[in-house]
């Protein structure tokens, strides 16, 4: 119940922020990002070995999606905030929004690693995927579609880079869950690529 309430609270907060944030860029995300792949045959399988450690303790998450990337994925503003992404403590996050009926939240979780999502998932489903060469977990609410889709990238021991695609209009919420998750994976790939350049 705690995890569902955290995700629902995040969605409500994201919707409220996007409703008050002016945007100038329209369109749906169509950009090609660094490759991602899913382990559909073994959704709770082991994470791939981490190729390197990318700590997110002091990362400015509002710089992880560059201006060019923001244009490609259809958002125009980046707003820093603290967010309840993973229970235990708030995390540094950035809300990327526009006027296309969707937004993204990118967060640096420093108190729990991605194993949190596969060690008894509560009201969420976690599926092991890869974002570029890093293991990740695709997170969705059990039995629901159109809420959002999040990707938690295994960047360091006890840490995760979390990227969510959040539909804010009825039209976006009616799209297939694979569309929502595909956009979350693309944005996670872009954010991870930028994170690598900061180290």
Which residues, 6+ apart, have CB-to-CB distance to 137 below 8 Å? Answer: 47, 114, 117, 118, 126, 127, 128, 129, 151, 152, 154
- 8 A C-beta contact, residue 138 and residue 183: no
Q: Which residue has the tokens 């995760």?
A: 160
Average the pLDDT over 140-166 and give the result.
91
Select the highest-mean-pLDDT range: 41-50, 138-147, 158-167.
Answer: 158-167
DSSP letter for 2, please: H
Q: Report residue 167 as tokens.
A: 């539909």
pLDDT exceeding 70 applies to what percent of the chain? 74
Q: Report residue 149 as tokens.
A: 């889709």
Distances (CA, A) of 139 to 57, 126, 135, 149: 22, 5, 13, 6
Average the pLDDT over 71-85 and give the result.
97
pLDDT in tens, 17-55: 333 333 333 333 333 455 555 443 344 458 999 999 999
Higher pLDDT, 109 or 13: 109
In the structure, what pLDDT confidence band is assigned to residue 105 with cuts at 50, 70 and 90? very high
Global confidence as pTM = 0.78
pLDDT at residue 162 is higher than 80: yes
Domain ranges of the chain: 2-25+39-197
Which residues, 6+ apart, have CB-to-CB distance to 177 below 8 Å? Answer: 140, 145, 146, 149
């Amino acid at each position: 119940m705690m995890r569902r309430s955290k995700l629902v609270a995040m969605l409500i907060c994201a919707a409220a922020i996007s409703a008050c944030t002016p945007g100038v860029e329209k369109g749906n995300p169509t950009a090609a990002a660094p490759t991602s792949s899913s382990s559909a045959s073994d959704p709770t399988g082991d994470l791939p070995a981490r190729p390197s450690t990318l700590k997110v303790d002091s990362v400015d998450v509002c710089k992880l999606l560059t201006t060019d990337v923001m244009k490609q994925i259809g958002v125009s503003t980046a707003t820093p905030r603290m967010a309840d992404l993973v229970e235990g403590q708030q995390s540094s996050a950035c809300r990327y929004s526009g006027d296309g009926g969707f937004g993204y939240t990118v967060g640096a979780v420093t108190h729990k690693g991605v194993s949190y999502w596969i060690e008894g998932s509560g009201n969420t489903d976690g599926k092991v995927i890869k974002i570029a060469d890093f293991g990740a977990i695709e997170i969705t609410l059990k039995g629901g579609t159109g809420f959002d889709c999040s990707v938690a990238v295994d960047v360091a021991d006890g840490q995760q880079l979390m990227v969510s695609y959040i539909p804010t209009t009825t039209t976006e919420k009616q799209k297939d869950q694979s569309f929502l998750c595909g956009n979350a994976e693309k944005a996670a790939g872009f954010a991870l690529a930028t994170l690598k350049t900061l180290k």
